[in-house]
Chain A
Amino acid sequence: MPRIFFATDLHGSEMCWRKFLNAAKFYEAEILICGGDMTGKAMIPIVEENGHYTVTIAADRQVVSADQVGDIENQIRRKGYYPLHVTPERLQELDEDAEKRKETFQQIMLDGVRRWMNMASEKLRGSGVRIFVCPGNDDEMEVDDVVRESDMVELGEGQVVEIEGFKMISTGWSNHTPWNTHREETEEKLRERIEAMARNVSDFSHAIFNLHCPPYRSGLDEAPAIDADLKLLHGGRALRPVGSTAVRQMIDKHQPLLSLHGHIHESKGAVKLGKTLAINPGSAYEEGILMAAVINLDAKKGIKSYQLVNG
C-alpha cells in the first residue's frame, strides 16, 4: 500500500528540495508530493568587482575570493534565496528599473525550478517513485510549464490523478491574501475550481484533496494578525484564521479520506474534519529543515497511520 511523503512551502530552499527527493529512500515512500510555493522570495546579488565578490547575507557583508563563491551560493540557496551574479553597473541598472528586475527574477527563478526538476530526474529516475508538484499561490504561472517539461515530476495542478487505488485532486490556488500573489481568486471561484475536479471522483473514501490553502477555522490556518500596513499585531502572538471557506466547504461536503495543505507555515497540525484527516505539516525552509507528513494508506483501512516529521 502506498506510503506518501508530503512536504510543502519549500520557497526555494535547495536543501529542503534535496531532502525532499531523498525522503523517498529515507522513509521508504513510493509517492512524493510537494504541496506548492516552491519558488524563492528573494534574490541576493553577488557583486563581482576587481577580482573579488561582495555579498550581504542576513545583514552580514562579506567580501570573498572566487574559490569561496560556491560556498556563498550554497548558503544563499539553503535559505531559499537565489544567488545573482552581477557587475556593479548591472546591479545599479536592476536597482533603478523595476521591469528589468522582474524579468531577471523570473528568469533566475525558472532556472531554479528547472535545476530542481533535473535533480529529481537524476536522483529518482527508474526508482519507481512518483513525484507530484503542485505550484502554490506564490509560484508564477510559468512554473507549470517548466514542471511539465520534466520527465520525472508530474504536475498536479487541476488534475485528477490515480495513486494505487486512491484519487488525488490538486490545486495551488488560494483565497485572496494581503500580498496579491499569483494564484489568488475569490472563494466562489476557488470553490468552482475544486468542485470541477471533485466531480471526477466517485469514491471520496479513497480520495485525497491536495489543496495548498488550508480550510477555514480548522486550526491549520492560524496566521499572525497583521494590520493594513502588514505590521504584526500584539507582538506577533495574536492569531487569526485565514484559511479558505471554499476549501472548508468542499471538505465538509465531500469528506475525502485525506486533505493535504500548506500556505500557513506556522500552523502545523493534523485535525479530523468529520471523516477527513486534514494535515498541514508547516514549513521551516529558512532553517533547511524539511517539515513533512508521512502517511501510510491502506486500501481497506484508508489511513493506516500518519506522522509529522522534521527531517
Chain B
Amino acid sequence: MADTTMGSAGSRPTLFLRNATGLVKAWSTFDAFVYSFWSVNLITLGLYGMSYAYTVPDGQVLAAILLFGVLCTFLVVTYAMLVSVMPRTGGDYAWQSRVLGGGLGFVLSMTGWWFTLFLWAPIYANILVVQFFSPLAYTLGWTGVATFFTSQTGIFVSCLIVLAFVSIVVTMGMETYARIQKICFWIGIGGLVVVCGLLLFASPQDFQNAFNREATSLFGAPANAYQGTIDAASKTFTGSNFGSLAFGPLLLLLPWLAFYLLWPNWGATLYGEVRGAKDIRKPFWSMFWGLWVTVALVAFVVILINKTIGWNFYQSANAAYWNNLFAVQGAVAPPVPIWPYPVMFAGFLVNNHLFQALLIIVMGLWFFGWAGTLFLSSTRVIFAAAFDRVLPSWAANISAKRRVPYGALVLMIVPSIVISAIYAYKPDFTSVFLDATAVLALTFLATVVAAVVLPWRRKDLYDASPVARYKVAGVPLITVVGVITGLFLLFMLYEWSFNGDNLYGTSLQKTPNSVIYFVATYVVAVVIYVVAFYVRRRQGIDLNRIHHEIPVE
C-alpha cells in the first residue's frame, strides 16, 4: 500500500511512503517549548536563585544572564545532537552507559538523577514556602500560618505537600499534567504581565511609599522600613551597584545562575518516548527557545527591578534576609522578616490586600505548573536501569489499574522524606542542599564527555545519524560544542568546589557534610552496580553485554 509521496528536490519526489504504524505528524515545538520553559522557571527557580546574587555585589547580573544564555546554548546543542543520534528514554543514563560503559554510566547518572533529586524535594518545598505559603498568609493576615511555615515542622510539612503533589502528578500521567501545565502557563504569563506592568508604570518613590505602607500594615514594621532594610543589610553587606561591569565578578555569578538556567535539557531523559526526536530541529528549538525566552524575560524583570524597586535595595533585602537566616556574624533581622519576593513587592503597589493575595496565588501557578516534573525524569532513569537489570525489575513495575510506576516512586519518595526531615530539623546539613546544582552539573559533564567521544566510541551509530554531516574544520560539531560546554561546566564545578571565599557555601574544604554525603552517594552507586553485576552473573546475565554491539557481518 504505497500511498504517499514525500519531500522534493526541485519538483521530484524523493521518498515514497506506504501506510504504516507510527507514521505521525510532527509534534508542536510550542508544546515542547512549554516543558523546557518550565524547567528553567523564571519565577520559581529564577527569582529564588537570583536572591543569592548579592554575594557577588560587583557582579553585573544582566551581562551574566546573557553570557550564561550563550554558554548554555552549547549545552542545548550538545543535548539536541545526542537526542538526535540516540533518542533514548533515560537520557543521561542511556548515553553515558552506551558510550562510556555500563558501570560508569550507572554511577554518574544515578548519583545525579536519583540520589541528588532527593535534595531537590526540600529545595522545592522551601521555594513553596517563601513564594506561596508565607507571603500569602502574611497578606491575608494569617500571621500564625506564616510563622508555622517558617518553622522546622512547617518546612517539613511543606516537603510532604511537595512530595504528595509530585506523586499525584506522576499518577495522573503526563497527558493530564501537560494540560495543567498549559493552563498554568497562560495564567502565569498573565500574572507576569501584571507584575511587569506594575513595576513598569510605578516610580521608585511609589515603590518606597508602598513598601513602607505594607511593611507596617502586614508585618508591623517601624516607619521607613525601606531604609531600615538597607540599614540592616549594611551590617554584613557593602551594597550593590547595577552599573558595575567588572568581568571577574560577572563570571562568579554564573554558578548562581546555574541554579535555574542550567536546565533547558531537563526533558532530555524523556525523548526516547518522542517520535520524531531524531530530527535535531525539534529538540533543539524547544530547548533553545525555553532557554532564551527565559533569558529575555529575566533580563526584562531585572531591568524593572532596578528601575522601580532599586537594585541596591533589592540586593540589600536579599542580603539582610539570608545573612540573618544563616546567622552570619554581625547580621541583624530585617524589618520585614520575609524572603524578598519581587512579585509581592509589585503587589504592594496596589493598596488592596485581596489583589495582592490574588497576584501571589496566580504567580503560584509558576510553581504548580513546574514542580510536578520533579521526579518525572528520575522515574525514567530508574526504568532504564531496571530494564538493563542493574536495578531489580520491580523498580520498573507499573500498577495495572492506574499505571502508577510505584517501584520507581517508592525509590524516590521514601528517601526524599528522610532527606526532607534532615533538611528541616538539621540545619548543619544546609551545604548539602546547596550542592544539589553542582552534582547535577557533574552528571551533565559526564554526558558531555560522552558526546565529545561519541563519533569515535560509537562510530557506526554516529555516522548513520543526521548530525554526522555537521563539522567545524573537519572536527565533528558535537565534539566542538561538547568541549565548549565541558569547559563551561568545569569552570562552575571548580568554583563550587574550590572557591576560596566559600561564596556558594559548597567549598569542599569548608563543607565536610557535603563531601561525606556525596562521596557516600557515589560509593552506594558503585556498590549497587557491583552487587548487581555479581548477582546477575549468577543468574546467567552478563551486564557487560547489554550494550555490546552485535557484529553486522
Q: Residues on A close to B: CB < 8 A?
A: 11, 15, 18-19, 22-23, 26-27, 37, 41-45, 47, 54-56, 58-61, 75, 78-79, 81, 84, 88, 91, 94-95, 98, 101-102, 104-106, 137-138, 140, 177, 179-182, 217-219, 222-226, 229-241, 263, 265-266, 268-273, 284, 286-290, 296, 304-311
Check B550 against A236 for contact (C-beta < 8 Å).
no
Check B387 against A236 for contact (C-beta < 8 Å).
no
Contact string against A for B residues 483-519, beta-carbon threshold 8 Å, 1 for contact and 0 otherwise:
0000000000000000000000000000000000000
Contact string against A for B residues 406-428, beta-carbon threshold 8 Å, 1 for contact and 0 otherwise:
00000000000000000000000
Contact string against A for B residues 169-191, beta-carbon threshold 8 Å, 1 for contact and 0 otherwise:
00001110011000000000000
Check B539 against A235 for contact (C-beta < 8 Å).
no
Whole-angstrom distance from the CB of B88 to the nearest CB of chain A? 8
- Which of B98, B173, B550 is most buried by chain A, counting CB atoms within 10 A of its CB? B550
Check B19 against A181 for contact (C-beta < 8 Å).
yes
Q: Any chain A CB within 8 A of the CB of B239?
A: no
Check B20 against A41 for contact (C-beta < 8 Å).
yes
**Which residues of chain B are within 8 angstroms of A296 by Cβ–Cβ distance?**
540
Whole-angstrom distance from the CB of B148 to the nearest CB of chain A? 37
**Which residues of chain A are within 8 angstroms of B22 by Cβ–Cβ distance?**
179, 223, 265
Q: List 10 A–B pairs whose Cβ atoms lie within 8 Å, in order of A's numbering.
A: A22-B551, A37-B21, A41-B18, A56-B9, A61-B14, A224-B24, A224-B274, A230-B23, A232-B26, A288-B461
Q: Any chain A CB within 8 A of the CB of B473?
A: no
**Which residues of chain B are within 8 angstroms of A223 by Cβ–Cβ distance?**
22
Whole-angstrom distance from the CB of B102 to the nearest CB of chain A? 10
Check A224 against B21 for contact (C-beta < 8 Å).
no
Given contacts A231-B28, A306-B541, A307-B546, 5 further A-B contacts (CB under 8 A): A23-B550, A91-B13, A233-B178, A305-B536, A311-B549
8 nearest A-B pairs in the assembled complex, by CB-CB distance? A238-B175, A235-B32, A235-B31, A232-B27, A234-B178, A236-B274, A105-B2, A311-B550
Whole-angstrom distance from the CB of B19 to the nearest CB of chain A? 6
Task: Give the docked Cα–Cα distance between A61 and B8 (Å).
Answer: 10
Task: Give the docked Cα–Cα distance between A266 and B7 (Å).
Answer: 26
Whole-angstrom distance from the CB of A228 to the nearest CB of chain B? 11
**Which residues of chain A are within 8 angstroms of B274 by Cβ–Cβ distance?**
224, 232, 235-237, 266
Whole-angstrom distance from the CB of A239 to the nearest CB of chain B? 6
The chain B residue sitting closest to A58, CB to CB, is: B466
Task: Give the docked Cα–Cα distance between A241 and B403 (Å).
Answer: 9
B108-116, B204-212, B255-263, B391-399 - the one binding chain A: B391-399
Task: Give the docked Cα–Cα distance between A95 and B3 (Å).
Answer: 10
- Which of A44, A240, A273, A309 is most buried by chain B, counting CB atoms within 10 A of its CB? A309
Q: Any chain A CB within 8 A of the CB of B270?
A: yes
Check B273 against A60 for contact (C-beta < 8 Å).
no
Given known A-B contacts A95-B13, A310-B547, A311-B549, A179 and B464 have beta carbons under 8 A apart: no
Check A98 against B3 for contact (C-beta < 8 Å).
yes
Task: Give the docked Cα–Cα distance between A222 and B267 (Å).
Answer: 18
Task: Give the docked Cα–Cα distance between A305 and B173 (Å).
Answer: 31
Task: Give the docked Cα–Cα distance between A311 and B400 (Å).
Answer: 30
The chain B residue sitting closest to A137, CB to CB, is: B21
Whole-angstrom distance from the CB of B552 to the nearest CB of chain A? 5
Task: Give the docked Cα–Cα distance between A251 and B6 (Å).
Answer: 40
Task: Give the docked Cα–Cα distance between A47 and B540 (Å).
Answer: 51
B residues 255-288 near A (Cβ < 8 Å) are 267, 270, 272-278, 286
**Which residues of chain B are within 8 angstroms of A311 by Cβ–Cβ distance?**
548-550
**Which residues of chain B are within 8 angstroms of A81 by Cβ–Cβ distance?**
15
- Residue from A15, A43, A56, A239 within 8 A of B552 (CB atoms): A15
Check B1 against A102 for contact (C-beta < 8 Å).
yes
Check A238 against B400 for contact (C-beta < 8 Å).
no
Whole-angstrom distance from the CB of B450 to the nearest CB of chain A? 15
Task: Give the docked Cα–Cα distance between A47 and B31 (Å).
Answer: 39
Whole-angstrom distance from the CB of A241 to the nearest CB of chain B? 7
Q: Any chain A CB within 8 A of the CB of B86?
A: yes
**Which residues of chain A are within 8 angstroms of B26 by Cβ–Cβ distance?**
231-232
Task: Give the docked Cα–Cα distance between A305 and B550 (Å).
Answer: 20
Whole-angstrom distance from the CB of A58 to the nearest CB of chain B? 5
B residues 1-51 near A (Cβ < 8 Å) are 1-3, 5-7, 9, 12-29, 31-35
Task: Give the docked Cα–Cα distance between A152 and B267 (Å).
Answer: 45
Q: Any chain A CB within 8 A of the CB of B321?
A: no
Contact string against A for B residues 516-553, beta-carbon threshold 8 Å, 1 for contact and 0 otherwise:
00000000000000000000100111100111111111
Q: Any chain A CB within 8 A of the CB of B231?
A: no
The chain B residue sitting closest to A37, CB to CB, is: B21
Whole-angstrom distance from the CB of A100 to the nearest CB of chain B? 9
The chain A residue sitting closest to B549, CB to CB, is: A311
Check A239 against B550 for contact (C-beta < 8 Å).
no
Check B464 against A310 for contact (C-beta < 8 Å).
no
Given known A-B contacts A19-B550, A22-B551, A268-B387, A286 and B21 have beta carbons under 8 A apart: no
The chain A residue sitting closest to B86, CB to CB, is: A287
Given known A-B contacts A44-B15, A219-B398, A311-B548, A138 and B21 have beta carbons under 8 A apart: yes
- Residue from A102, A239, A241, A268 within 8 A of B2 (CB atoms): A102
- Which of B20, B26, B35 is most buried by chain A, counting CB atoms within 10 A of its CB? B20
- Residue from A45, A104, A270 within 8 A of B13 (CB atoms): A45
Whole-angstrom distance from the CB of A263 to the nearest CB of chain B? 7
Whole-angstrom distance from the CB of B369 to the nearest CB of chain A? 13
Check B175 against A270 for contact (C-beta < 8 Å).
no
Check B545 against A234 for contact (C-beta < 8 Å).
no
Q: Any chain A CB within 8 A of the CB of B89?
A: yes
Check B3 against A101 for contact (C-beta < 8 Å).
yes
- Which of B22, B275, B548, B552 is most buried by chain A, counting CB atoms within 10 A of its CB? B22
